[in-house]
Amino acid sequence: MSRSTGSPSKDMWRLRSLRNRFEVALVTLAWALVAAAATGPATAQQPLQLDVTGATRVEFNDSVGVWELYGNPVTVRRGLVVLKAPAVRYNAKDQIVIASSGVSYGDQMLIASAGTVTVWLREGRAVAENDVQVAYRGVDPVDLRAARVELLQEQRSLIASGAARLARGSSAITADQIEYDHAARRAVAAGAVQARTPDGRLGADRVEAQLATEEFIADGHVVVTRDTVEGHAAHAVFRQQAGQVELSGDALVHLGRNMVQAQVITIDLRARRVTATGRPHLVGYPAAP
């Protein structure tokens, strides 16, 4: 902890100033996380009291402008925003806050947890790492998990990477990376994408999920499977509400031993019915008598 050799009144003023700066940083941290995950346009907020509790040790290095708080855990509350972490480090010079050793965050819209959360206040960006879990509340809950999640304040979106998984209801998407915009109810998954639904599975290089309409738009090495039905194509639109998928671009479907090729093939996964248009070619095997 740094010390001062000035007068008591100057020391008191200086300590109050440092405390105010740290409180501003904690408020900014909380609102940076809220803004990064907000579902709508930003609105003016009424001033709310900041409450910091649970700190058992506070250290300040005046030469580098670094605050460190330790507790079981340190808890920061402002309105409905609650941030908890056993260790919080604030670099006033670089405007960086690091919460570590098991971080939890909650507000009226979501709850989240991670091993470490780093916030770059000037950039409006936060990165959560180590077993990150984000759960959106409300009538349409969404659960996101990954090794790393980046929150972008201006874009109001999340970028999850490292065994990323997005789940909604009975459907889930796994991929190397998933970018999710909760306001638009839109997710874009890339890299070894697998989407699982009650009607079947969809694999592709890239999948755009429109959660509001329950549609998957897939591109690149598309594979659709359900029981003995297997479809391949360059592009596909999977409509979950109808239980149908439309394949296009060198479309090929195996239905048991039978096979059909065409420019466009629509599969009704529930009825096991295939409709092919555009120079269809069928190879079929009659059923045994």
pLDDT, residue 104, reads 93
Tell the residue number behind the tokens 């346009």, with chain if given. Answer: 41
Range from 47-51, 53-57, 276-280 that averages highest in pLDDT: 276-280
pLDDT, residue 42, reads 44
pLDDT at residue 3 is higher than 60: no
Burial label for 1, CB within 10 Å (0-12, 13-18, 19+), is: exposed
Answering whether pTM is above 0.85, one says no
Q: For residues 30 and 55, which has the higher predicted lDDT (pLDDT)?
A: 55
Gap between the Cα atoms of 185 and 209, Å rounded: 8
**Mean pLDDT on 131-159:** 88
253-273 pLDDT per residue, tens: 999 889 999 999 999 999 999
**φ, ψ for residue 67, nearest 5 deg:** -100, 140
143-to-113, 168, 244 alpha-carbon distances in Å: 12, 7, 25
Contact yes or no for 222/213 (Cβ under 8 A) = no
Sequence-distant (≥ 6) Cβ neighbours of residue 211 within 8 angstroms: 140, 142, 168, 185, 186, 187
Gap between the Cα atoms of 190 and 164, Å rounded: 10
67-107 pLDDT per residue, tens: 898 999 998 887 888 889 999 898 888 888 899 999 998 88
Domains and CATH numbers, the chain: 55-154 (2.60.450.10), 183-288 (2.60.450.10)
**Mean pLDDT on 235-240:** 97
258-to-19, 202, 221, 267, 287 alpha-carbon distances in Å: 74, 20, 21, 14, 10
The helix (run of H) or strand (run of E) holding residue 34 is helix 8-37
Contact yes or no for 136/142 (Cβ under 8 A) = yes
Report the Cα 174 to chain-centroid distance in Å.
12
178-204 pLDDT per residue, tens: 999 988 999 999 999 999 999 999 999
